[in-house]
Amino acid sequence: MSEILFADVDPASVEASVLTAYEQIANTTLYPGDPVRLFLESVAYVIALQNNVINLAGRQNLLAYAQGDHLDYIGMMVGMQRLGAGYAICTQRFELSATLGFDVQIPAGTRVTTSDRKSLFAVDALGIIRAGTMYVDLPVTALVTGAASNGLVPGQIDQLVDPVAYVAKTRNLTQTMLGSDVESDDRYRSRIQQAPERFTCAGPVLSYRHHALAVHQDIAEVAVWSPTPGTVDLRPVMAGGELPSEDILAAVRAAVSADDVRPLTDTVTVQAPEIVPYEVQITWYLSRSQEPLLSTIQAKVLAAVEQYRLWQRAKPGRDILPLKLSSLIEQAGARRIDMPAPVYRALAPYQLARETAVSVAYGGVEDD
């Protein structure tokens, strides 16, 4: 579709219109340097600025252009709300130095953190280390919303902020996950576009996809397919091509299995995609005439490989396409490419390609 303009925002065009209108009304010609012309040029500049404001305001009424609060109000018209920020969670172990003959309580709200104290978590509910046992495992939640608290590996949260009598040490047993930022405009806009799909039960592919994407803003893509009549299989993928956690799978399963969503005759399963491993082995060569640009082109080649890696793992059922990788590297400036891997492979809807090794070598220069 062509770009929508509610007012002329080209300064030169606005200026020409103002000068032409004045010359026609005054029946005179304004030459460069004329005080009247200089005044009208300044007026035209103000009009052009105002036209930009008018154009921006008009566009905020259109889904394709709306941003921020304006997009929220458009979403309200179809019953869609922006997903808010979420708190990261994990399982934390609290351990004694020796067994005791009495219970030790871990109060709700007891805070733990990492050694750099950048991420604070708190115990969700009262926990008890029973007499004769050494530890208790409790769910903890980040005190601040956002994706920044995700990805803390087991053992990284190992500091007690609030000392608890008899507790000698603590550590997280699981990686922190499910922290999320406020849903972005682009993702929210995409869900609003799919809003009509929610007016039916989740029979169509797009309807199942819509209900699954609404569960969490970190769900980037969902493959929906029917392996046999009456069965529906959903395979969600998280942002960055990561696999969904059990908590995410359970939430999606609950969303698409609700009585007012799932058709009575559908048997719905929600699983992580089946991983199909592949390798990247590349040696690339540079034209001799481009040798002075080696460092720049090398950086572009590595960026092209990273772009392909993220693209390949972003969607279930996406075939492994060496030609796309080759094209990206050539666009980055490589003259020739030796690429033993990857090789083409068609994937089923429930499969997701995932790189296991990436090797990118510079082979030298060649004559043009």
- For the chain, the straight-line distance linking the first and the last C-alpha, in angstroms and rounded, comes to 41
Residue 106: the pLDDT is: 95
Instruction: Name the percent of the chain lying above pLDDT 90.
Output: 77
Phi and psi for 96 in degrees, rounded to 5?
-85, 165
pLDDT per 10-residue tile (average), the chain, 368 residues: 86 93 92 92 95 94 93 90 91 94 95 93 96 95 93 94 94 92 92 77 78 89 90 91 91 86 82 95 94 93 95 94 95 94 94 94 89
CB contact at 8 A, 30 and 22: yes
Count of residues making up the chain: 368
3-state DSSP call for residue 345?
Answer: strand
Q: Which of 278, 243, 271 is nearest to 353 (CA)?
A: 278
In sequence order, the β-bridge partners of residue 267 are: 231
Secondary structure letter of residue 32 according to DSSP: T
Residue 201: the pLDDT is: 59
> Under CATH, to which class is 194-270 assigned?
alpha beta
Residue 198: the pLDDT is: 66
What pTM value is reported for the model? 0.62
Instruction: Name the percent of the chain lying above pLDDT 70.
Output: 98
CA atoms within 13 A on the CB side of 328: 21
The rounded distance, in Å, linking the Cα atoms of 168 and 96 is 5
